[in-house]
Amino acid sequence: MAKVASVIEINFEITKDECQKYPSHCSAPDPCLGKILTCENWGTPDYDTCTCRCHPNFYGAMCEKAKCHNALTCENDGDFDPSTCTCACSNYFTGSRCEKYNCQAMGTRGRDSYRCARMPRRACTKGWHIRGEKEEIRLKYCPKKCGLC
């Protein structure tokens, strides 16, 4: 019985990303000299320039440094703005973390509005609001009665 030798030819498709990571596999010049880039914090490797393209909130050779060294935890529904490294507060709050009441914006410049006189004490509970309104009663109408200002 004769032995039959078989040859299997395998063709691998190499993607552009693989060529960028491993230029020797594509016979392309290797500007990174075989170095594999490991970018941090959602950075993406750019093998054409041997650098990391960083997410807007980070920088550094490997995107390892945060633009905001002390990312704040904003209180009272404040939103952290990474472009300025500060908290954006609603009208009723102020302070670096929105931790202070802005009494001038509450009620009638810090005093209870006329509507507050008819409100029960439980209206001072956080989250209470008049149907159809978004603002809390304690902030919009009753800052004095609720002990905020």
Q: 69-101 domain in CATH 2.10.25?
A: yes
Question: Where does CATH 2.10.25 sit in the chain?
Answer: 69-101
Dist CA 48 CA 21 (whole Å): 10
pLDDT score of 80:
86
Residue type, 82: P
Q: Is 115 helix (H, G, I), strand (E, B) or coil?
A: helix
pLDDT score of 103:
92
Residue 2 vs residue 10, higher pLDDT: 2
pLDDT score of 8:
46
The stretches of 40-117 forming alpha helices (DSSP H) are none
pLDDT score of 19:
67
Q: Residue 147 — very low, low, confident or very high, per pLDDT cuts 50/70/90?
A: very high
Residue 119 vs residue 1, higher pLDDT: 119
The stretches of the chain forming alpha helices (DSSP H) are 16-21, 137-140
pLDDT tens-place string over residues 35-86? 888 999 899 999 888 899 998 888 899 999 888 866 678 999 899 887 788 8
The stretches of 22-141 forming alpha helices (DSSP H) are 137-140
Q: Is 138 helix (H, G, I), strand (E, B) or coil?
A: helix
Report the share of the chain in percent with pLDDT over 70: 78
